[in-house]
Amino acid sequence: MFTIHSARRILTMNSSRPETTHVAVREGRILGTGSLEELSGWGKHELDERFADKVLMPGLVEGHSHAMEGSFWRYVYVGYFDRMDPDGKVWTGASSIDAVIDRLRDAASKLAGDAAPLSAWSLDPIYFGNRRVVREDLDRASATRPVGVLHASGHILNVNTKALELAGLLRKGINHPGIPLGADGLPTGELKGPDPMMMASPYVGFDREVLACDELGLRYFGRLCVRKGVTTAADLANLLPQDAVAMMLRVTSESDFPARIVSLLRLQLLSGQALIDRALELRAMSSDRLRLGIVKLVADGSIQGFSARLRWPGYYNGAPNGLWYVPLETLREAFRLALARGVQIHTHTNGDEATELVLDCIEAALQAHPARDHRFTLQHCQLADAAQFRRMRALGLCVNLFPNHHYYWGDQHYAITVGPERAERMNACATALASGVPFAIHSDAPVTPLGPLFTAWCAVNRRTATGRLLGAHERIGVADALRTITLGAAYTLKLDGEVGSIECGKRADFAVLEDDPLEIGAERLKDVRIWGTVQGGRLFPATPSSQA
Amino acid sequence: MSTRIPVTVIGGYLGAGKTTLINHMLRHAGGRRLAVLVNDFGALPIDADLIEAQEGSTISISGGCVCCSFGSDLVAALRGIVALDPPPGHLLIEASGVALPAAISATASLVRGLANEGIVVLADAETVRERAGDRYLGDTIERQLRDAGLILLSKPDLANADALAATRAWLEQFAPVIDSPRGQVPLEVALGPALGRSRPVIASPPAHPAYETVEYGDLPALDLERLCTVLTDPAAGVLRAKGIVRDPSGAMQAVQTVGRRAEIYSATAGGPGRLVCIGIAGRLDRSAIERAIAPRQFRCGSA
């Protein structure tokens, strides 16, 4: 006995049979696609017609997110843009500082006790003109309890006076580039960069363990995946201590956990040899819904934080070049050992100098260990130029680009960070396609919201939040974008033989859509309504959403 | 003197000799209880024979010293050091090979109970020029050197004399340069001299034949800015100086210099003004220092 699902249209991403109307599922896998008559040949079945008016796509694959997006939803959302929480509630964007404060005040009134911290996230004062948020603003939300609000970029934390006091920072004479001072000589409450943020974060409820993704966060993340049509999501990356692995194995194996998580091991506290040993050990622990064994390295910082490494002529506003995050020798050793022992590495390179360095390192490692099909992947790789894409192709690399950045920060990139020309080539999807570099596109959730169809819309339209068309020549077509958020991302995770298309033998992972992404029009691609998902043959309807 | 724990940041690129230096200091701590923070234990930074016990991210070292790794949370590690009972006598922070030491120093300054005592950057005599010319690394190496109060030249014995002289001259543009073969450098030079309680004598205790120390007691109230200008002038030959001095208003101030950098902050300790300076033997210009601490510069009553 097996099930045949009928649908209005099935977009398979299988080039031998790109479109069909029925898919047969047995034991969580796809028995076949075709007409009802064709599939009936497999024997006794039941016909499930609940998707008869819906469109099926392969379950969407998010190639670069962080499961901690789920953890953030226990804090108050104060972002500028509307955003859907794991329960389907759409939080309206806070469009002014007053709106942020109102929401915080409201949340504070619901907290028990006077001392409990109030934590919020996704603040983006860029959209409030040049006005910075200061501690006096947050004091209006609560003067008695510590208040901390994390910026959307994740690189700045705003705190109130009480939090500064608890952190030992409410004093004169502080001299730190990440802690601006007010006219009174005291910190304004803006804490920039990891160290200043860590001074206050334990007092405002941003617990390190929670942010590293705990059980509740992982469950929330799974629910968000359902709402966004995602059946496989990469978690980039995690320190993966043994207790976290045990928790993730347990939670993802529960019969109602709706997604496959690919969690990458982050380099820290480990030498190259120990890193590769641990990756192989983790790979052996993988289950169907928790895939382990890929390594993540970070070469540089972020472009909007001016910590990315840029080639000449550097930052448009003259800021000094960014930082290397690990010694070059560490990168070289890791690539060499990984190629020798068959471990895949994804490397964060934001600036084009970081990309160039990693290309050089991988080229040298490949000369020592000419591995085939290594699928080493450059993550973000936002500033790569055409020559670098040609090198990626020649070296057998994949790339995972970040089109959401155009929407959220494209205007800043144009005006401040890299200037007009390079802003237009950022996340050059069309060049990747033309160069033949296998590529994915991503959200980096929680930096931007999880949602591959939104990411596809960004790659297709390249509009900034203010409506500027940024890089018309790097737009890609809808069909290419849809392929990228399914098979493209699956390929970078070495899962394209298992997921990413609807065809015989693959996992029964579907995104179930109310609208047809090929019919709705390129400009409305982000508005495609999502019923939910099918993951490993199990049905996960997204529960009805509400409006905040 | 306040009871804050003095902090020295040790910078330098991979292979510059940071680990060798730290092990040398731990072996020659001379009763100072050192705490060492390292970025990670990727390559174990402590010589095995020095280790008494390891528990999680903390290694106990003979002589009451400890070594902890801080991973990505430097602030929590620094707070952990301040909370140690009994407190360590000095904290060394080993910066990662690509870190900018001044950024670490700035973070240490945020944590109550710590007092920065300068940045020491190691340079490998054989490779530092080549690294500084590397297309990817060059600016990082220069930024590290620019952060230095003192530069310790490791492996000077391996380089040829001409190349060494050129390297030394090039490094001098950033900070005073001291030879440190196999991590050998006196603790009071690398970490700063211990300031006597209140000895009102001028003394030159023999520290190390290559260095010279002078100590002054019973100092009058002084113009601290001017004092620091003299102490940080390369012509005076002072590598490090530390003092507790009354300023013209009568307030006790702590003064500290490392190479060309000076810091003045209010001191909690009282007692007579005193100052200790260390320089390379034969290069310390005592008369310049003594002019700077002569009482005739002010008429502000009895000091």
CATH 3.20.20.140-classified regions of chain A: 210-535
Of A195, A323, A324, the CB nearest to B75: A195
CATH hierarchy code of domain B5-190: 3.40.50.300
Contact list, B112 vs chain A (CB under 8 Å): 168
DSSP state of B231: H
CB–CB contact A195 B103 (8 Å): yes
In terms of CA atoms, which chain B residue is nearest residue A311?
A: B136
Q: Mutate which of A155, A159, A191, A269 to disrupt the B interface (most B C-beta within 10 Å)?
A: A269
- Residue B112 at interface with chain A, using a CB cutoff of 8 Å: yes
CB–CB contact B72 A270 (8 Å): no
A548 CA: distance to closest CA in chain B (Å): 36
Question: What is the pLDDT at residue B284?
Answer: 93
B225 CA: distance to closest CA in chain A (Å): 18
B114 CA: distance to closest CA in chain A (Å): 13
Of A176, A208, A271, the CB nearest to B110: A176
3-state secondary structure of A192: strand
Which residue type does A308 have?
Answer: A
CATH 3.10.310.70-classified regions of chain A: 76-205
CATH 3.30.1220.10-classified regions of chain B: 211-297
Tokens of B136: 């990817």
Tell me the CA distances in angstroms from B130 to A67, A333, A411, B142, B177, one per residue in order.
42, 20, 40, 12, 18
CB–CB contact B75 A199 (8 Å): yes
CB–CB contact B97 A327 (8 Å): yes
Distance CA A429, CA A477 (A): 10
Contact predicate A36/A53, CB 8 Å? no
Give me the DSSP letters along A256-311: T---EEEEEEEP-S--HHHHHHHHHHHHHH--SSEEEEEEEEE-S--TTTT-S---
Which of B3, B24, B7, B4 is CA-nearest to residue B104? Answer: B7
- Residue B130 at interface with chain A, using a CB cutoff of 8 Å: no
CB–CB contact B109 A194 (8 Å): no
CB–CB contact B42 A195 (8 Å): no
In terms of CA atoms, which chain A residue is nearest residue B38?
A: A269
CATH 3.40.50.300-classified regions of chain B: 5-190
Digitized pLDDT (tens) for each residue of chain A, 548 residues in all: 899 999 999 999 999 999 999 999 999 999 999 999 999 999 999 999 999 999 999 999 999 999 989 989 999 999 999 999 999 999 999 999 999 999 999 999 999 888 999 999 999 888 887 688 999 999 999 999 999 999 988 889 999 999 999 999 999 999 999 999 999 999 999 999 889 999 999 999 987 766 666 899 999 999 999 999 999 999 998 889 899 999 999 999 999 999 999 999 987 766 788 899 999 999 999 999 999 999 999 999 999 889 999 999 999 999 999 999 888 998 999 999 999 999 999 999 999 999 999 999 999 999 999 999 999 999 999 999 999 999 999 999 999 999 999 999 999 999 999 999 999 999 999 999 999 999 999 999 999 999 999 999 999 999 999 999 999 999 999 999 999 999 999 999 999 999 999 999 999 999 999 999 999 999 999 999 999 999 999 999 997 654 43
Distance CA A311, CA A425 (A): 15
Which of A433, A435, A439, A411 is CA-nearest to residue A423? Answer: A411
Chain B window 138-157: which residues touch A at a Cβ cutoff of 8 Å? 139-140
Question: What is the pLDDT at residue A269?
Answer: 61
Of residues B63 and A459, more confidently modeled: A459
CB–CB contact B139 A321 (8 Å): yes
Class of domain B211-297: alpha beta
CB–CB contact B106 A177 (8 Å): yes
Contact list, A169 vs chain B (CB under 8 Å): 110
Chain B window 23-62: which residues touch A at a Cβ cutoff of 8 Å? 40-43
Contact list, A325 vs chain B (CB under 8 Å): 98
CATH hierarchy code of domain A76-205: 3.10.310.70
- The superfamily in CATH containing domain A210-535 is Metal-dependent hydrolases (3.20.20.140)
Distance CA A508, CA A26 (A): 8
* pLDDT of B16 strictly over 90: yes
CB–CB contact A323 B140 (8 Å): yes
**For A214, left (φ over 0), alpha (ψ -120 to 50), or beta?**
beta
A102 CA: distance to closest CA in chain B (Å): 32
